[in-house]
Amino acid sequence: MKPTLQAVRGMNDVLPVDSHVWQFFEDTVRGWLTSYGYREIRLPLVEKTDLFVRTIGEVTDIVEKEMYTFVDRLNGESLTLRPEATASCVRAVLEHNLLYGGAQRLWYQGPMFRHERPQKGRYRQFHQVGVEALGYPGPDVDAEHLVMIARLWRRLGVTDVALQINTLGTAEDRSRHRTRLKDYLRCHWDQLDDELRSRCERNPLRVLDSKDPGLAALIEGAPRLLDDLDEVSLKHFEDLQALLRGAGVEYEIVPRMVRGLDYYNFTVFEWVTGQLGAQGTLCAGGRYDSLVEQVGGKAAPACGFAIGVERVLALMDEQGLRPESPGIDVYLVHQGAAAGRFAWELAERLREAGLRVIFHCGGGGFKSQMKRADASGARFAVIVGDTEAASGRAGLKPLRELKEQVQVAPHELPRLIRGQ
């Protein structure tokens, strides 16, 4: 029977049968990021709404439709559950003057909130691992990000992940391009609905975001930003590609890629898989050289990316890469007052030796405790009755093999349990 109170749609529980998979991913990610010299920053889940409106852009799906915004009851301030954390990261770096001492390689992880229509791979609370390199003009650091992501896929063992890249040039390139694009879209005005017409007026690049299959041909025929780039933009893009080729990272140029957030310039990219249906983008990011200034700091170049954790875990599942749960080594079964005391101390001793031990709580006879031991998944039961306690020994019973119980001295247990 379902309880009357259920989780909010699109916000998921991670249950114990799955939490070890998350932990494996988080451990792998921590080691991977440390090996590239990135340091963790922990950011609040709530920020002032204005931070996101100013940085992500007013004419974006996130700001127009997807933010969880509420008014602080005490002072009437508008606050928002973070839909992403690049803006928060830049805000924190400026607030704590971190760029003052030089460039920063940072990472963060945790939940993000977007009021999207939930479906497989798209949630209202989802998790990202994000990386931001602030103070670096690139393209070496842009390339570093792509090379390191390729390494993460190898470490996790996932395959069928392709890199798509594009460049959005400079603000001047985009302004030139916007004029050409507007002219083009005005020639196809009858195909646009009211929302897209409004977007065309306010930010015509956003029309190319439309997922409407009826507009695919219109979008395909639109002028390409790549053709409106100046020399500096082209050089950044070509230098990046040379670095990727040198590192053996394969990529495809997708000239229509615009990304759903406004702060990008130059490099943008997405890592996609065909194995997760419509929500196949595993990781996305790019360069955002104006954001630091926009948030109120002295201009500094920057770039970064975020990985969608649920999607990577879904791909690992799909590809049979789910790690085994580390499990329990010992379930400690005991009956009788003296045995209970002896077993309690023994459990601590075994944990001291590095073993994972569940001490039976809640009483009951040997038979029912052995059932619990079996259900716990433990490899061994260690059994103590008052007779064993009196002789200072314990029974060791393998639970996953057909082997007899043996009586052993406590100091022998760790070696025998490890199979040495």
Cβ atoms of residues 104 and 133 within 8 Å: yes
Could you tell me if 279 and 315 are in contact, meaning their C-beta atoms sit under 8 angstroms apart? no
The reply on whether position 306 binds ligand HAM by CB under 6 A is yes
Q: What CA–CA distances, in Å, run from 38 to 88, 95, 283, 304, 334?
A: 17, 19, 18, 12, 48
Considering only residues 52, 153, 305, 359, which one is a binding residue for ligand HAM as defined by CB under 6 A? 305
Residue 323 phi, psi dihedral angles, 5° rounding: -70, 155
CA angle 132, 23, 276 (to 5 degrees): 75
Distance CA 295, CA 283 (A): 24
- The residue among 162, 166, 145, 164 whose CA lies nearest residue 267 is 166
Question: Binders of ligand HAM among 144-163, rule CB under 6 A?
Answer: none
Among 116, 160, 239, 318, binds ligand HAM (CB under 6 A): 116
CB of 417 to ligand HAM, least distance (A): 41
Instruction: Indicate the residue whose CB is closest to ligand HAM.
Output: 308
Q: Which is nearer to ligand HAM, 173 or 310 (CB)?
A: 310
Q: Does residue 268 belong to the site contacting ligand HAM (CB under 6 A)?
A: no
| Least Cβ distance, residue 330 to ligand HAM (angstroms) | 39
**Among 43, 63, 130, 166, which residue interacts with ligand HAM (rule: CB under 6 A)?**
130
Q: Does 340 bind ligand HAM (CB under 6 A)?
A: no
132 near ligand HAM (CB under 6 A) = yes
Following DSSP, what letter does each residue of 144-211 receive, concatenated?
Answer: HHHHHHHHHHHHHT----EEEEEE---HHHHHHHHHHHHHHHHTTGGGS-HHHHHHHHH-GGGGGG--
Min CB(287)–ligand HAM separation in Å: 8
> Is residue 86 a contact residue for ligand HAM (CB under 6 A)?
yes
Q: Helix 86-95 to helix 49-56 angle, to the nearest 10 degrees?
A: 110
Position 260 contacts ligand HAM (CB under 6 A): yes
Compute the distance between CA of residue 373 and CA of residue 396 in angstroms, rounded to an integer: 12
Q: According to CB under 6 A, which one of 55, 109, 128, 290 is a site residue for ligand HAM? A: 128
Stretch that binds ligand HAM, among 32-40, 202-210, 301-309, 406-414 (CB under 6 A): 301-309
Q: Is position 107 an interface residue for ligand HAM (rule: CB under 6 A)?
A: no
108 binds ligand HAM (CB under 6 A): no
DSSP, collapsed to helix, strand or coil, labels residue 355 as: coil
Q: Contact region for ligand HAM (CB under 6 A) — 1-9, 46-54, 118-126, 360-368?
A: 118-126
Nearer to ligand HAM, 141 or 357 (CB): 141
* Cβ atoms < 10 Å from Cβ of 233: 22
Q: Which residues bind ligand HAM (CB under 6 A)?
A: 84, 86, 114, 116, 122-123, 126, 128, 130, 132, 260-261, 281-286, 288, 304-306, 308, 310-311
